[in-house]
Structure formats: structure tokens, C-alpha cells
Chains A and B, each alone.
Chain A
Amino acid sequence: MFLTKMPLNPRRRGARVLLSSPQALHAAVLAGFADARSTAEGRILWRLDTYDRHRTVLYTASPEKPDFTHLVEQAGWPTTEAWQTRDYDGLLDSLRPGQRWQFRLTANPVRSGRRESWNTTKPLGHVTVKQQEQWLLDRAPRLGFQLVSGRAGAEGAAEPDLAIVDRNTRRFQRQGNPVTISTATFEGHLEITDAAALRQSLSFGIGRAKAYGCGLLTVAPPPRSDPA
């Protein structure tokens, strides 16, 4: 597996097109691969991190190395920063239970629901921060990690170190049909409980809408000031 980081220039016209529609960015990311099919190792996952108006970074995890020349030309920084691709297997192989990492994840938290007039169930987006946090907490054991307890909350009980830093409802067209996905960006600290399951989550993604920038979990070393 490979992890790729590519800063985009949100003020370019090409970037506006890509940033406004996950469908368009999905197509642009896949165009960077000769064979975009998933393998036994993993699949193509991507995520768009927006830190402020001028700082937007595209992360991609993929079984093969990408060639994002077309993205740089349309929406990147051609002469200063293209993209960096790093081998991901070293990290994936070094995962051990008990390790602590800082993480970031953009996901599409949904539940299955059925309204009166429907005869089948459909995925419905979770709406509130509480629901979205609970969605990840419920899934964490299956995904191979648990959330580290942060500092004691207001009531004195230790709360999991988890924050939703961004929430969005993306509406766009897919072959003329409207698509709506609600996304939540999680940040926090995790502790590995099952290395194989976490490897699976890192390379195959978490939750739904993986083609549309959801499901890519990335980990980084915890900050030095962190007591853990």
C-alpha cells in the first residue's frame, strides 16, 4: 500500500470544480491509476482535509503508486509542491496492540432506517454530533482500536479523546441523479486492540461512501505534550 499527500490550491478554477463535487474528485483520483480495482491488499481511498481557506490537502491510500500529474496541472501547485507518495506497508506491518496514535478520519455515519411509506430499509445519515460520535464508538472494537480516555470531563467522568472537527452534508449529481451524503471528520487518540483488524480498516476504509472521500483513516504520532 502507498499513502500519498497532495496539497491543492483552492483558488484555482480547476480546484473549484473538484472541490465542489466528490463525484468529480473521485473520477480525478481514479484517473491517476492505471488499474483502479481493489486488490487483496486494499483499495483506493481518499480524503480531503481543509484546515483553512488556503490550506486543502488530498490524502490517498492505494495499492499502487498514483500519478497525479493531471491533478497538479488542474488544481495543484505545479512549481512548488507536487505530491509525495510513501510506502505504507512498513507502518501497516509495525502495528501492535497497545500502541497509541493520533488519528483523523472523515466518514459517512449512517444507520439503517425505514419510514412509513417505504417497504425496504435505507441508510439514513446520522445528524447530531452525539449520534455521529456514538457511531464511531460503537464500531471501534470491530475496526481494531479503542478510543483513549481523555482528560476528565465536566462531570468528572473520563470521556473518550474524540472530537468532530468538521461536519458537512454534500449534495452533488451522479449521472444526473442527486446524491446526498452527510460526513463527519473525527480527530482523537486511539489505542490498538487488534492489529490485523486495524490494518484492514486502514487499507479498506471505514463505513460507507468510500468513493466520495469517506472512510480513509490515517494515524500520526501523538504530540509530545501528550501525557500518554
Chain B
Amino acid sequence: MTVVALRLAGPLQSWGSRSRFVRRETETAPTKSGVLGLVAAARGMRRSDPLEGLLGLRFGVRLDQPGQLVRDFQTAQRPKREKDGTTSWSSLPLSHRYYVSDAVYLAVLEGDRELAEGIDEAVRSPEFPLYLGRRSCPPAGPVAVGVSENDLEGALASLPWMAGTRQQRRHRARTVRLATVCDADSEEPGGELVRDVPVSFDPNRRQHAWRSITRGTVEVDNPHGVADADTGDEHDPMAILGG
């Protein structure tokens, strides 16, 4: 199998899977529908185009830098031209929008070699602008990481830590344990269900199906680490007294 890796980093990201009405939530990790949408945009697909080609991909994400949750309380007004030529403003519903700020994620898609290479190429020169879950959240830096011959779990465990240098320096240990969220096998018990498989992005008939996920962790090297993780920094004077 071949995997294509994407680095999703930006000042704001928003990955909703269950948003309704005026409360637009975000997950703490990128959603499959959001990332497939980004890939579809890069390939120049229209919203009403069929998505079958992409739905066979296995998806996994690693939380390289968790970031912070930000809430935006949003007010909006709609202009209305009156008959006498003046403009009046009517308020739209107040909404709460949630974002993850200053986060870095590694998203990995596993599929056929041809498809993976096509995605990598498309992300490097996208047809439509790329954004991280919401139109107002552009990515910071290149999204494409590259294609490699590996499986999903192997890629998540072997790709280097993508967090910023400052974060890596602050985390002093030589290795770091990162959380992952992956597609689960449909038969596997104990999977968590999220409504996160895009059936159609058609704005008139948007549809999402259920997807089961598993959460895990992987350990990767910290290139800026200086301290040993396993030797605790606790001073133990009992050690020489037969304690």
C-alpha cells in the first residue's frame, strides 16, 4: 500500500463533524470529510461531483501539536434595501464558532499508488484554494509531505514530528508520545462512531455517513530533545542507603 501524508498547520483550523444551526463545533483532530474535501478541492472537483474515487482511502491523523480551542462569538447583519432607497439592517442569528488555534496535524491517506501520487501532485498545485476545515482558515506552509510505500500505522509512527521548533525545544525529552485517530476496521469492536464519511458535498443535498475510529498513541523522536525521558528527575537520597 502507498500512503500520502499532509501537514495541516495554521493559525486557525476548524474540523466539525456534528455542527448544527448556530453552534459550529470543531473536533480536536481533522475529520475525514474535511481532509477529503481538501483533497477534492486540490484535484479541482466540483461540490456536486461524485466522491467514490476517494472514499476507498483509509484515513489516519496524528496530533503533532494539539493547539488550543478558540471560540468566536459571531454577529452578522443582512442589508435590506427599502422602497424609499434607504438601507436597513436585519440581524442574522448569533452563532458560536469554534476553532483550534496554533495546531499542527499530520493527516495520512492510504490507498493505491496511483491515487496517492495523484493526490500528492494535486496538493502541490491545487485547482481550488486549500483551507483547513473552514474557508477562513488557510494553511500555513506547504501541505504536501510526500508519498511513501508504507501502511497507515507505519507512516504515523515513522514520519518525523511536525510541531514547531519552539514546541519541540520546550518539550525537553528525546521522544514524544503523540495521540492518533485512525479509521477502524468495521468489524472491530469498541470503535467510536462519528458522522464523518462524506457521501456528497453537494450544497443542496449534503450527506455524511457514519465512520468508526480508534484512538491510540505513537512515539516519535524529538530532534530538539536534550533530556532522557526515562530517568526521572527526582532526587533520591535513599538509593545509597539501601532504600
Contacts and interface: CB of A to CB of B under 8 A. Distances in A.
B188 interface: no
Which secondary structure dominates chain A's binding surface? strand
Nearest to A86: B241
B135 interface: no
B79 interface: no
A220 B240 contact: yes
A169 interface: no
Contacts of B233: 51
Task: Indicate the size class of the contact surface on chain B.
Answer: 10 to 19
A221 B241 CA distance: 11
A84 interface: yes
B241 A187 contact: no
Interface in B184-243: 228, 231, 233-243
B177 to A, nearest CB: 17
A59 B234 CA distance: 13
A178 to B, nearest CB: 31
Task: Indicate the size class of the contact surface on chain A.
Answer: 20 to 34
A203 to B, nearest CB: 13
Contacts of A91: 240-241
A55 interface: yes
A223 interface: yes
A58 interface: no
A88 interface: yes
B238 A84 contact: yes
A5 B238 contact: yes
A218 B237 contact: yes
A86 B235 contact: no
Contacts of B235: 49, 102-104, 187, 218, 220
B240 A5 contact: no
A87 B238 CA distance: 10
Contact of A219 (B237, B242, B243): B237
Contacts, number: 43
B174 to A, nearest CB: 12
Contacts of B242: 86
Contacts of B239: 220-221
B233 to A, nearest CB: 7
A88 B243 CA distance: 11
A62 to B, nearest CB: 14
A227 interface: no
A223 B236 CA distance: 11
Nearest to A218: B237
A123 B222 CA distance: 46
Contacts of A153: none
A223 B235 CA distance: 10
A104 B239 CA distance: 14
Contact of B237 (A87, A90, A220, A225): A220
Contact of B238 (A3, A187, A223, A225): A3
Nearest to B238: A5
Nearest to A102: B235
A59 B241 contact: no
Given A5-B243, A86-B243, A51 B238 contact: no
Interface of A: 3, 5, 49, 51, 55, 57, 59, 84, 86-88, 90-91, 102-104, 187, 218-221, 223, 225
Which 4 residue pairs spanning A and B have beta carbons closest together?
Answer: A218-B237, A86-B241, A104-B235, A220-B237
Given A3-B237, A3-B241, A57-B234, 5 more contacts: A5-B237, A51-B234, A86-B243, A88-B241, A220-B235
24 contacts: A3-B238, A5-B237, A5-B238, A5-B243, A49-B234, A49-B235, A51-B233, A51-B234, A59-B237, A84-B238, A84-B243, A86-B238, A86-B243, A87-B241, A90-B241, A91-B241, A102-B235, A104-B235, A218-B235, A219-B240, A220-B235, A220-B240, A221-B240, A223-B231
